Structure 1
Amino acid sequence: MTADDVILQVKGLTAGYGAAPVLQEVDLTVRAGTIAAVLGANGAGKTTLLRTLSGLVRPSGGEIVYGGQPLRDVPVEQLVRRGMAHVPEGRGVVAELTVDENLRLGGLWRRDREDAAKALTEVYELFEPLAQRRRSAGHQLSGGERQMLALGRALVARPKLLLLDEPSLGLAPRVIAQIMALLRQLRDTTGLTVLLVEQNVRSALSVADEAVVMSLGRIVTATSADRLRDDEELRHAYLGF
């Protein structure tokens, strides 16, 4: 792996809330154009990892390098401008705004208005249910439609790296399969890199290139998704199935 292959490099990352750290000396490498699944039990530190990478939690130690540049003290809005998008658990849709207004929020900062409009059109093509409900308010959408909307809003910003937290939470299996297929499509057609936190291990491993398993704030193994999926002993040791 060369430096050009790496979009995100994390070294010795320590972070948390208050005095007690949640993340402890985390090392992580993510290659550009891949889907990396972050797996582990509740409380392992997966969500805190994404929140720290996106600037919502301030690290107490360690280093984050994105696109070859250190991220220390970089404001959240600058991370978005540099091509990092974060879709948090719970989807983060503005319930009072329409589908169209929510999507346009993702491109407000963009100076290239023509391409922002093009990105909006592309999202509607990706998510046909949103195109049919563009005048509906966020609170009127189903769980699957809200997840599509949160993803779509992130994609309007044309990210290079998508931090995606629990996209399958509360969704029907059919909708989960559609979202995972979309992630694979975006990786293959646009080169999007995805760091995917997911409790639905089987769904995550079905689309991921790499698998990272966390426990108690530390990474306990990092390997190919194929190896973790096919190695029963490894799965049982780290994921309990």
Structure 2
Amino acid sequence: MTAATESSPGPRHAAPEEPLLRIQGLTAGYGAAPVLHDVTLTVPPGAIVAVLGANGAGKTTLLRTVSGLLRPSAGTVRLSGADLARVPVEHRVRRGMAHVPEGRGVVAELTVDENLRLGGLWRTDRRDARRALDEVYALFEPLARRRGHAGHQLSGGERQMLAVGRALVARPRLLLLDEPSLGLAPRVTAQLMGLLASLRDDTGLAVLLVEQNVRSALSVADRGVVMSLGRVVRDADAAELRDDDALRHAYLGF
């Protein structure tokens, strides 16, 4: 062995990828009553992380705090390393975050097309905004057929498609999705979860998914975070959570 070989460095290891979303020590609530207690979790780029737990676990409060609708009393939320503490909601959208709240949030009086265009109003590249709209219609064919119908004329599944589609028009890197299967038929839920998996695989979209339909969520998630009474009690690979009978019975109800 030559001296040059002896002094050569060993194999290089790639630095771990910075999480797209990093939540650390987050405490938040309403008035003087905290709902979240020291919550820490991460969402890697191009991953689906499911937040699971019973009613009252703090899941919706978590998404509202991440999106800027609720100010935390402690802790940090970082997107691509940037602290969002002083970043208002609309600027978080510009930085690549989109939030689809529980209840879908469709404007009932506006048409499908008008609702979708709301998602891109802030964008200055009008050509790409038009392209994004066309892509949403390609993803959700029922919306393309009903683009002139008002929001109140749509089925529950179509309204959920519209809410997700409006968020996608903004071309987010991170989608915050709150209870998307609520009130939907099992077939529609399966289609929606399949779409999320396709968006992750095809476009690199990251998703922080709050969902009570645990089986559906874990079928597409890369990781799962289990919450109870505002605290994280488990953060693990989705497959590991599916196989943990004791945890599922204690916190997830199946």
Q: Give 1:230 shift.
A: 1.8
Q: Counterpart of 1:28? A: 41
- Counterpart residue identity of residue 12, structure 1: G
The 5-angstrom pairing of residues 125-204 of structure 1 reads 125-204=138-217
The more displaced of 227-236 and 150-159 is: 227-236
**Inter-partner Cα distance in structure 1 for 2:197 and 2:242:** 17
**Inter-partner Cα distance in structure 2 for 1:23 and 1:237:** 20
| 1:61 paired to 2:74 | yes
**Inter-partner Cα distance in structure 1 for 2:15 and 2:165:** 31
Q: Counterpart of 1:17? A: 30
Q: Give 1:3 shift.
A: 5.5
The C-alpha deviation readout for 1:27-82, integer Å capped at 9, x for no partner, is 11111110000000000000000000000001011111111100011011100000
| 1:232 paired to 2:245 | yes
2:104 is aligned, of 91, 106, 115, to 91
Q: Give 1:96 shift.
A: 0.5
C-alpha RMSD of the superposition: 1.1
SS in 1 for 2:20: strand
The 5-angstrom pairing of residues 110-121 of structure 1 reads 110-121=123-134
SS in 1 for 2:121: coil
**Inter-partner Cα distance in structure 1 for 2:126 and 2:252:** 45
The C-alpha deviation readout for 1:79-109, integer Å capped at 9, x for no partner, is 0000000000000000000000000000000
The C-alpha deviation readout for 1:176-217, integer Å capped at 9, x for no partner, is 000000000000000000000000000000000000000001
SS in 1 for 2:91: helix
Q: Counterpart of 1:106? A: 119
Q: Give 1:4 shift.
A: 3.1
1:37 is aligned, of 41, 50, 64, to 50
- Counterpart residue identity of residue 115, structure 2: N
Q: Counterpart of 2:218? A: 205
Q: Give 1:240 shift.
A: 3.1
| 1:214 paired to 2:227 | yes
- Counterpart residue identity of residue 102, structure 2: E
Q: Counterpart of 2:95? A: 82
| 1:7 paired to 2:20 | yes
Unaligned runs of 5+ in 2: 1-13
- Counterpart residue identity of residue 73, structure 1: R
**Inter-partner Cα distance in structure 1 for 2:253 and 2:141:** 37
Return the index of the structure with the highest Cα Rg: 2
**Inter-partner Cα distance in structure 1 for 2:156 and 2:136:** 18
**Inter-partner Cα distance in structure 1 for 2:248 and 2:191:** 25
How many equivalent pairs are there?
241
Q: Counterpart of 2:10? A: none
SS in 2 for 1:174: helix
SS in 2 for 1:72: coil
Unaligned runs of 5+ in 1: none
